[in-house]
Chains A and B, each alone.
Chain A
Amino acid sequence: MEGRILEKQAVIEMRGVTKRFVDVIANDKVDLKLFPNEVVGLLGENGAGKTTLMNVLFGYYNLDGGEMLIGGEKVSFSSPKDAINHGIAMIHQHFTLVQTQTVLENVMIGMEGSFFLNYKKAKEKLLGIEKEFGFHLDPDAVVWTLSIGEQQKLEILKALYRDAKILIMDEPTAVLAPTETIELFETLHNLVKSGHSIIFISHHLQEVMDICDRVVVLRNGKRVAETEVSETTIPELASLMVGRELLERLDKGKSKTGEVILEAKDLRVKNNRGITAVDGLSFVLKEGEVLGVAGVSGNGQTELSEMLFGEVKPEEGEIYISGKKVPGGSLSSVIKESMARIPEDRIKTGLFMDLSVKENMILESHVKEPISKNGLINIKEIRSFADNCIKSFSVKTDGMDAPVKSLSGGNLQKVILARELVGDPKLVVACQPTRGLDVGAMEYVHQAMLNQKESGAGVLLISDDLDEIFLLSDRIIVMYEGKIMGEVSAEEADRDKIGLWMSGVTS
């Protein structure tokens, strides 16, 4: 390490960087260096402060303490503009693209040059860059027509158009299929060769080992380690990341399957853009098993869950619960009585963030006795119900009257779990149940799923996290473009094959 610093000038040096939010210290005196032509991995679990640290480097957040040096000179950024002027570009996890505008307009913004837009000149420049780095994006294509992978390329092009030398990539592989990931890594290698440096944010250990030269590990906002990738191992990084020796080891137990609890027959539906999202999907779920639905997000999983949850009516096909046909498009009593529903986006669809914990607990049961009777709610019953929920799922809250928005992500999910699982339903459908949670909360959710299975429920687990699928499932199906690419039992499943299925390749 020391030798390297002597021979090379760091392009970026962050010294003792501190960033606070209300009462949370997101980054606590973090040091980070980036040298020319290297990929540094910024590793840490959700909430460790990786994105915040990079948003500080990008000028998006103000620095609360410490200093930053670019090319050896001290800098002070008050907005992303300053970072861009210093050759830094950040590619956010949620793309910063305007869906209704063209590729060219998205690239040009902020770099337009003259008062009147010169589309011709901009297009020439863009095509030149595309040629140099081997991209093939039509400058006149409107963004929403592009695939997620293409949109990510557009984000990289945006950075290159600004002549950025330093790229910050926030969890770039989270939205990609395995084959697209390989393609992305090739692009990154090319960029490094042509003089760029890259900070690669991830919590995927294998990816960090594959692409990075060096890795910095964050935990609870602090830098806990920095090492050359060649000098470490995955288990070592894992324990550094979570601060414990081992990663999750769950005993998923044997499956004792019973009756068919959920059956989907030839489901078909279009998404809100009118494109077929689920395309003839059938599966069977039995009591006492976990069926994992794997796939890169955006391949119809959201729409599948919406149909199962009774939010969206299938255009074709049928859903049966315990052999009873479910009328589509509304939350029928069949669904309400027998299905626990863990929605994909807990904040957007799962919770009333401005209401109290207890008011969120009764969303499913507010029209049922004893919570309400003859249109009147029974506060006493609500309190005892909420109290029971909070205790049995150990929700950490300042009480049932606290607004639910004051809870952490993990506890928000516990509120939903409590509400949905409290009556020990025979069917659990969970869509991305651990997205954005830290390891502790993740383990809790996983254990809760397995407990349901133990007690005889059928669990449908829709997840884009392959580790989670392998950890919990007894059977795995893979979704790609709204279809099932294949099905395999957990014992016979191998990652390479499932990876191929996720990319739409069957062999």
Chain B
Amino acid sequence: MIGMSIVKRKPLPAWVMLVIPVAAVFVTLLITSIPILIAGGNVFKAYGALFQGALGSKFNLLETFVKASPLVLTGLAVAFAFRAKFWNIGAEGQLFAGAIMAAWVGIYFTWLPSFLVIPFMIIFGFLGGGLWATIPAFLKTKLKVDDVVTTLLLNYVILHIMGALLFGPMQMEGSSWPRSASIMDAAFYPMLIARSRFHLGIIISLVAVLAIWFINNKTVFGYQSRGVGINLNAAKFGGINTNMVILKTAIISGGLAGLAGVGEVAAIHHHLMMDVSPGYGYTGIVIAMLGNLHPIGVALAAFFFSVISVGAQTMSRVAGIPIYIVGVIEGVALMTMLIFILLTEYKIRWTKS
């Protein structure tokens, strides 16, 4: 029988950590060529179509940025929470909360001077997602209820709240579909590049990356938040108000996801509807891990997933590979990255007996 054991290895040089995500992506694409082959596709043609579709022209590239924007935000949301060991699996729900708030402001705040509409949407959307995330944070810190489970369950609660709103008070007059009226023109995110959908939200995502980097590295709160994640006891010992740190972490995390919801309403759909997100919140988890919880890593991982998801449409058309290959690639990428990170600290030893 062959046994496997995992043993610590000597520390690897720092540049290895930079190579690892690239290697993980490469291995992922290698593994996912198996389902492509099974689907009867030509691997080179399929991946060629994928990258062509995502990066091949200016328009495609800009579309990839458009798609990356919500992914950066949900990825940051999850990464920031996970760093403090607040297991926020609820970015999807927080995104909904942000979208609902954005639609509310965008549709009904007609009394606002038009230059204030977008700032209001952003603030309300951030708060909507942030406050929604404080529920599981409060349950975790005060009542010791497992945050994984509550964040997951609350995704369904907010989904149905949204459903109730869209079939109720927010439903567009005369419509039998669950969709709201359109937001006012002043609430549309401005497009920054002509004849494209390159919108304000993309800039907001990039600012968010910098902001999180700043919080993580330059503020007392960033230090405390990481400390809480690494060792709750030591953080308490050091006089850090750990419950407060978790609560603030939740607000920032949920707020970021909320901003993703704002972007989807204000820049893409221009109204609220049930499928405002095709699972951005869940993909955010993969992105956070693939980016090693680091904001810059998250931005790169989000861009990679955006490439996959935009390119997969072309790949589907050209090579006949079902679009759901995206989910497979996401899952494989996550697992590959996990294993690669593990291998930086440990090595696998095979034993024969």
**A–B: direct contact at CB < 8 Å:** yes
Measured CB to CB, the residues of A under 8 A from B are 21-23, 62, 78, 309-311, 330-331, 336, 341, 343, 348-355, 359, 362-364, 366-367, 372, 375-377, 379, 406
Stretch at the interface among B17-25, B133-141, B234-242, B336-344: B234-242
The chain B residue with its CB closest to the CB of A332 is: B239
The chain A residue with its CB closest to the CB of B222 is: A377
CB atoms of B234 and A363 under 8 A apart:
yes
Assembled-state Cα–Cα distance A367/B353 (Å): 55
Assembled-state Cα–Cα distance A331/B221 (Å): 18
Q: Pick 12 A–B contacts, CB within 8 A, sort by A.
A: A23-B10, A310-B239, A311-B237, A341-B237, A349-B233, A350-B237, A355-B226, A355-B227, A359-B223, A363-B227, A366-B224, A366-B238
Q: Which 8 A-B pairs have the closest CB atoms?
A: A331-B239, A363-B238, A349-B233, A352-B230, A349-B237, A354-B230, A372-B220, A22-B8
CB atoms of B220 and A377 under 8 A apart:
yes
The chain B residue with its CB closest to the CB of A359 is: B223
**Chain B contacts for A311, CB-based, 8 A:** 236-237
**Chain B contacts for A78, CB-based, 8 A:** 3, 351, 353
Assembled-state Cα–Cα distance A359/B240 (Å): 14
Shortest CB distance A142–B (Å): 23
**Chain A contacts for B9, CB-based, 8 A:** 22
The chain B residue with its CB closest to the CB of A346 is: B234
Shortest CB distance B228–A (Å): 10
CB atoms of A351 and B239 under 8 A apart:
no
**Chain B contacts for A341, CB-based, 8 A:** 237
CB atoms of A343 and B8 under 8 A apart:
no
The chain B residue with its CB closest to the CB of A373 is: B220
Assembled-state Cα–Cα distance A103/B237 (Å): 35
Indicate if B13 sits at the interface (CB-CB under 8 A).
no
CB atoms of A21 and B238 under 8 A apart:
no
CB atoms of B218 and A355 under 8 A apart:
no
CB atoms of B220 and A353 under 8 A apart:
no
**Chain B contacts for A309, CB-based, 8 A:** 237
CB atoms of A377 and B218 under 8 A apart:
yes
Indicate if B196 sits at the interface (CB-CB under 8 A).
no
CB atoms of A377 and B219 under 8 A apart:
yes
**Chain B contacts for A376, CB-based, 8 A:** 218-220
CB atoms of A377 and B223 under 8 A apart:
yes
CB atoms of A367 and B220 under 8 A apart:
yes
Indicate if B174 sits at the interface (CB-CB under 8 A).
no
Name the one of A22, A366, A367 contacting B10, with C-beta atoms under 8 angstroms: A22
Shortest CB distance B255–A (Å): 18
**Chain B contacts for A379, CB-based, 8 A:** 218
Indicate if B231 sits at the interface (CB-CB under 8 A).
yes
Assembled-state Cα–Cα distance A107/B223 (Å): 46
Name the one of A22, A330, A364, A375 contacting B238, with C-beta atoms under 8 angstroms: A364
Shortest CB distance A158–B (Å): 26
Assembled-state Cα–Cα distance A62/B226 (Å): 37
Shortest CB distance A394–B (Å): 23
Indicate if B11 sits at the interface (CB-CB under 8 A).
yes
Assembled-state Cα–Cα distance A398/B218 (Å): 24
Assembled-state Cα–Cα distance A280/B286 (Å): 53
Assembled-state Cα–Cα distance A355/B224 (Å): 12
CB atoms of B234 and A21 under 8 A apart:
no
Contacts beyond the supplied A354-B231, A375-B219: 7 A-B pairs with Cβ under 8 Å? A22-B9, A309-B237, A311-B237, A330-B239, A331-B238, A363-B227, A377-B223
CB atoms of B220 and A352 under 8 A apart:
no
The chain B residue with its CB closest to the CB of A333 is: B239
The listed residue with most A CB atoms (<10 A of its CB), out of B9, B218, B238, is: B238
CB atoms of B351 and A62 under 8 A apart:
yes
Assembled-state Cα–Cα distance A384/B20 (Å): 33
Name the one of B223, B237, B351 contacting A366, with C-beta atoms under 8 angstroms: B223
**Chain A contacts for B239, CB-based, 8 A:** 310, 330-331, 336, 364, 367
The chain A residue with its CB closest to the CB of B7 is: A22
**Chain A contacts for B223, CB-based, 8 A:** 359, 362, 366, 377
**Chain B contacts for A354, CB-based, 8 A:** 230-231
Shortest CB distance A389–B (Å): 15
Assembled-state Cα–Cα distance A364/B239 (Å): 8
CB atoms of B238 and A355 under 8 A apart:
no
Shortest CB distance A267–B (Å): 19
**Chain A contacts for B219, CB-based, 8 A:** 375-377
Assembled-state Cα–Cα distance A140/B233 (Å): 34
Assembled-state Cα–Cα distance A81/B223 (Å): 46
Assembled-state Cα–Cα distance A265/B129 (Å): 48
Shortest CB distance B352–A (Å): 10
**Chain B contacts for A362, CB-based, 8 A:** 223
CB atoms of B227 and A375 under 8 A apart:
no
CB atoms of A350 and B11 under 8 A apart:
no
CB atoms of B227 and A352 under 8 A apart:
yes
CB atoms of B238 and A353 under 8 A apart:
no
Assembled-state Cα–Cα distance A351/B163 (Å): 47
**Chain A contacts for B224, CB-based, 8 A:** 366
Shortest CB distance B292–A (Å): 13
Assembled-state Cα–Cα distance A22/B9 (Å): 6
CB atoms of A348 and B218 under 8 A apart:
no
Shortest CB distance B65–A (Å): 31
Shortest CB distance A125–B (Å): 32
Give chain B interface residues in 1-52, CB to chain A under 8 Å: 3, 7-11
CB atoms of A352 and B10 under 8 A apart:
no
**Chain A contacts for B236, CB-based, 8 A:** 311, 349
Assembled-state Cα–Cα distance A62/B353 (Å): 11
**Chain B contacts for A406, CB-based, 8 A:** 11
Give chain B interface residues in 192-249, CB to chain A under 8 Å: 218-224, 226-227, 230-231, 233-239
Assembled-state Cα–Cα distance A86/B82 (Å): 47
Shortest CB distance A439–B (Å): 26
CB atoms of B8 and A350 under 8 A apart:
no
Assembled-state Cα–Cα distance A364/B221 (Å): 14
Given known A355-B226, A377-B218, A377-B219, contact A343–B237 (CB-CB < 8 A): yes
**Chain A contacts for B351, CB-based, 8 A:** 62, 78
Assembled-state Cα–Cα distance A406/B3 (Å): 28
Shortest CB distance B213–A (Å): 14
**Chain A contacts for B235, CB-based, 8 A:** 352
